[in-house]
Amino acid sequence: MHRKIVLAAVMAMVLIGGLVAIAAADPYVPGTPIKAGFIYIGPVGDYGWSHAHDVARQILVKEFPWLSTVYVENVGTGDVVSTIDKLVNDEHCNVIFTTSFDFMDPTLAGAKKYPDVIFAHCSGFKRAPNMATYMADFYQVYYLNGLAAGALTKTGKVGYVGAVPIPEVKRHINAFTIGVREVNPEAKVDVRWINEWLNPAAAAEATEALIADGCDVFAFTEDTPTVVQKAAESGFPSFAHYSPMYKFAPDYVVSGELVHWEKIYADFLQKIYDGVYTAKNLQNVDYWWLLGQGAVEMGAKPGMAINPAYVDKLKAVVIDHPTFGKISVYDLIQTRLNQMGDPGVTFDPFQGPIKDRKGNLEVPKGMWMSVDSLISLEWAVDGVIGPWPGEP
């Protein structure tokens, strides 16, 4: 008797639980309010990646009256599925954004578990009928920064502090190095890895090590303004990354990369609201947005591609360019910016012939790289010195 009651109670709970789950995951009806959940890998206070996504989230809330949002920060890869459970069942989100490469498989698992919820995963390559992918990539901007760095280095050694040696960071270092060498064919880009996304002290010591090794211009991929600050302390120019870091060293920040995730999010959410995107048709939806779409911008401060303090210095460096002949680096940057900013892009930094530093031809003459080969890139371009974990 007793056991039966317990059994009945358990069954009732399972049923109720099931009903709740079903009720929570109703398909989205276009034109009704959307609740979007954001899952961040880092703290929104990192002033880098997660911060940039959260800035976009806040812009969206102001822009769309029908949108409400919720976010969860500092989520480990192992907690993504349970976080998705919470966002779907407790927060009743219709759309969930997961913003780290590592979240790819758990997001796919979540998408299978909740087929009526719309998912979008940032920086990955796995999709499903209810899971799109998106990325605002910087490689063009890193290349443009590289052109300026090549003009500014006196020692011929440009320092680069890398976070974690994954294809994205390697792609950016390569693009940057291609820019440096286009202006200054003898220059080297010396790389140091901190193996973390956020560790100011590690970034500081990596910068100091590069300074001790003779580097005099600095760029980085890491989530804090540390490299900018440390380079400025020693009087060296640098390039900002991800967030507007101009104010951290107004006399030394030459340029940098800025992201506008809101452009992608706004487009995606508007299309869901309009009924264009549903939980059935996202299998081939991949945003790979660059300068042309306005998802990224060159500069360390919005609207300022090059720090005015460096404009004359870059105009003064005139090189003999294989395509443009005698041209100042400032004009070269503007020309390349136009070639890539135009919706009809007429130039790509990874334009063949490109050899890796071991001498293998990676991109044949006249060819461009496909998005797939860009996002899986592991080799180091000629001109990169220093360690390169996972080098093929």
Partner 1 sequence: MGWESWLISTLARALAYGTPLLLGTLGEIYAERAGVLNLGIEGMMIMGAYSAFVVAYKTGHPWLGVLVGAVVGGAFSLIHAFASITLKANQVVSGLALTMLGLGLSGVLGRSWVGHPLFTPLRRITVPGLSAIPIIGPGLFTRQNLLVYITMLLVPILWYILFHTRIGVTIRAVGEDPATADSLGVNVARVRYLCVIFGGIFAGLAGAYLSVGYRPSWTEGMTGGMGWIVIALTIFAFWNPIYGLLGSYFFAALYHLSYRMQAWVSPELLKAMPYAFAIIILIFVSRGTLQKRMGAPAALAIPYTRGEE
Q: What are phi and psi of 179, to 5 degrees?
A: -65, -50
Per CB under 8 A, 202 contacts partner 1: yes
Q: What are phi and psi of 166, to 5 degrees?
A: -110, 165
Instruction: For partner 1, give the closer residue by CB, 81 or 385.
Output: 385
Choosing from 94, 130, 243, 307, the residue that interacts with partner 1 (CB under 8 A) is 243
CB of 210 to partner 1, least distance (A): 8
Instruction: For partner 1, give the closer residue by CB, 123 or 224.
Output: 224
| Ordered alpha helix ranges (H), 274-364 | 308-316, 329-341
Per CB under 8 A, 213 contacts partner 1: yes
Per CB under 8 A, 386 contacts partner 1: yes
Per CB under 8 A, 360 contacts partner 1: no
Closest by Cα among 251, 243, 250 to 222: 243
Residue 242 · residue 223 · CB < 8 Å: yes
Instruction: For partner 1, give the closer residue by CB, 245 or 327.
Output: 245
CB of 204 to partner 1, least distance (A): 5
Choosing from 36, 67, 206, 369, the residue that interacts with partner 1 (CB under 8 A) is 206
Give me the DSSP letters along 341-375: HSSS----TTPSPEEBTTS-EEE-TT----HHHHH
Per CB under 8 A, 214 contacts partner 1: yes
Choosing from 38, 39, 41, 51, the residue that interacts with partner 1 (CB under 8 A) is 51
Per CB under 8 A, 133 contacts partner 1: no
Closest by Cα among 300, 144, 149 to 228: 300
Per CB under 8 A, 69 contacts partner 1: no
Rounded to whole angstroms, the Cα distance separating 171 from 31 reads 40
User: Can you list the positions of beta strands (E) in the chain?
Assistant: 34-39, 67-72, 95-98, 118-122, 131-136, 157-162, 188-193, 217-221, 238-242, 253-259, 286-289, 296-298, 318-321, 325-328, 354-355, 361-363, 384-385
Choosing from 201, 276, 361, 371, the residue that interacts with partner 1 (CB under 8 A) is 201
Measured in Å, how far apart are the chain's first and last C-alpha atoms? 67
Instruction: For partner 1, give the closer residue by CB, 158 or 290.
Output: 158
Instruction: For partner 1, give the closer residue by CB, 55 or 128.
Output: 55
Provide the 10 A C-beta neighbour count for residue 275: 11
Per CB under 8 A, 27 contacts partner 1: no
Q: Which of residues 171-200 bind partner 1 (CB under 8 A)?
A: 190, 192-193, 195-196, 198-200
Per CB under 8 A, 46 contacts partner 1: yes
Per CB under 8 A, 205 contacts partner 1: yes
Choosing from 100, 221, 229, 238, the residue that interacts with partner 1 (CB under 8 A) is 229
Question: Half-sphere exposure of 376 toward its Cβ, with a 13 Å CA cutoff?
Answer: 7
Both tokens of 139, joined, read 């490689």
Binding residues for partner 1 (CB under 8 A): 43-47, 51, 190, 192-193, 195-196, 198-202, 204-206, 208-214, 224-226, 229-230, 233, 243-244, 247-249, 385-387, 389
